[in-house]
Amino acid sequence: MSRVYNFSAGPAVLPEEVLREAADEMLDYKGSGMSVMEMSHRSKTYDNIIKEAEADLRELMNIPDNYKVLFLQGGASQQFAMIPMNLMKNKVADYIVTGQWAKKAYQEAQLYGKANKIASSEDKTFSYIPDCSDLSISEDADYVYICENNTIYGTKFKTLPNTKGKTLVADVSSCFLSEPVDVTKYGVIYGGVQKNIGPAGVVIVIIREDLITEDVLPGTPTMLKYKIHADNDSLYNTPPAYGIYICGKVFKWIKKMGGLQAMKEHNEKKAKILYDFLDESKLFKGTVRKEDRSLMNVPFVTGNEELDAKFVKEATAAGFVNLKGHRTVGGMRASIYNAMPIEGVEKLVAFMRKFEAENA
Ligand SMILES: *Cc1c(COP(=O)(O)O)cnc(C)c1O
């Protein structure tokens, strides 16, 4: 068996320890005689798995009691609709558009009400985060929406927007559990888990209780109401049971690593190795304004498409895979999520140095 260094943006690298543990438990989960995949979601055994996962996540993120944690399906993209359907009481919401995912959310919201684009960084290919300290927030906005870490472009909000008292809703798919977060600043924090937490198929929604009501847009399907999932502890219907089990293992792994503060230090150290190299390199360049750089997704280019392609090809052959940039941006992107070991980044940089010397 040989494992590669996987720089995929998602689905992405998971802790090897978690994968080994899951493999050990594959045929017989703790004496149950079956895999978690084969188990009733109404069983006592499974109930313990989902309850423990929630408790560990609450502990890691220090989630206050007046927030619900929901394990749902449909990916982050389904939340683009669920959020307006459940939260747009006045049928008005403000969107800050800092990339493709925020743009998709903004476009989806237009199906349900008046979505205002109150700021954007599209003028410079989403390579920065706009100043959000004094935006014209709509008087009757039900919420202000951001994508906190822009997976494709490699930017991150270092300070949250001033929402002038309005509820903040954030897509944190690609920075979930990468550093400590003050949950009380948000009405809703959500993300697909396949970037930094677990297998595709689970989306986690952390939502303040007063935002969960029966008062949703007419015609909202039962499955798209936060209330039905909250009232049933994410077991209204069959949840993505195996995926939640793996998420639970990742939560335990993060706890063992020292929690979110330790994760942040680990991630800063890794990102610094790569960014420092990009800043000194004569061949490779980062594409993002320095102060807005993501700790998780690092896009870079040589400025020559043929050379980019050559780099990706040679890197792949050397065991550094999924470095090709998003189809809308080109170049390269290294996603260095929690589970990417520091050696992975050190070895990638050594490889980049060698490539630079050979192609000078
Ligand atoms: C990947 C991603 C999405 C889309 O997730 P799906 O689960 O495929 O719907 C949305 N937002 C962000 C920030 C992402 O990185």
pLDDT in tens, 18-76: 999 999 999 999 999 999 999 999 999 999 999 999 999 999 999 999 999 999 999 99
Is the CB of 196 inside a 6 Å radius of any atom of ligand 1?
Answer: no
Does residue 123 have a pLDDT over 90? yes
**Structural tokens at position 342:** 């520091």
Catalytic residues, which ones?
Answer: 101, 171, 195
Confidence of residue 360 (pLDDT cuts 50, 70, 90): confident
Is the CB of 192 inside a 6 Å radius of any atom of ligand 1?
Answer: yes
* Distance (Å) from CA 169 to ligand 1 centroid: 15
Is the CB of 75 inside a 6 Å radius of any atom of ligand 1?
Answer: yes
- Helix runs in the chain, H state only: 16-24, 44-61, 75-87, 100-109, 226-231, 241-257, 259-280, 305-317, 342-358
Question: What is the average per-residue pLDDT within 110-116?
Answer: 98
> pTM to 2 decimals?
0.98
Q: What is the pLDDT of residues 312-352, one digit of tens each?
A: 999 999 999 999 999 888 999 999 999 999 999 999 999 99
Atom of ligand 1 nearest to the CA of 172: 13
Does residue 1 have a pLDDT over 80? no
* Distance (Å) from CA 173 to ligand 1 centroid: 6
* Distance (Å) from CA 358 to ligand 1 centroid: 37
Q: What is the pLDDT of residues 281-292, one digit of tens each?
A: 999 999 999 999
- Structural domains in the chain, CATH included, are 17-256 (3.40.640.10), 258-359 (3.90.1150.10)
Q: What is the pLDDT of residues 230-271, one digit of tens each?
A: 999 999 999 999 999 999 999 999 999 999 999 999 999 999
Q: What is the pLDDT of residues 72-88, one digit of tens each?
A: 999 999 999 999 999 99
- pLDDT over 70, % of the chain: 100
Is the CB of 11 inside a 6 Å radius of any atom of ligand 1?
Answer: no
CA 102 from centre of chain: 13
Is the CB of 151 inside a 6 Å radius of any atom of ligand 1?
Answer: yes
Treating both helix axes as pointing N-terminal to C-terminal, what angle do 259-280 and 44-61 enclose, rounded to 10 degrees?
60
Question: What is the average per-residue pLDDT within 95-111?
Answer: 98
Neighbours of 75 (CB within 10 A): 17
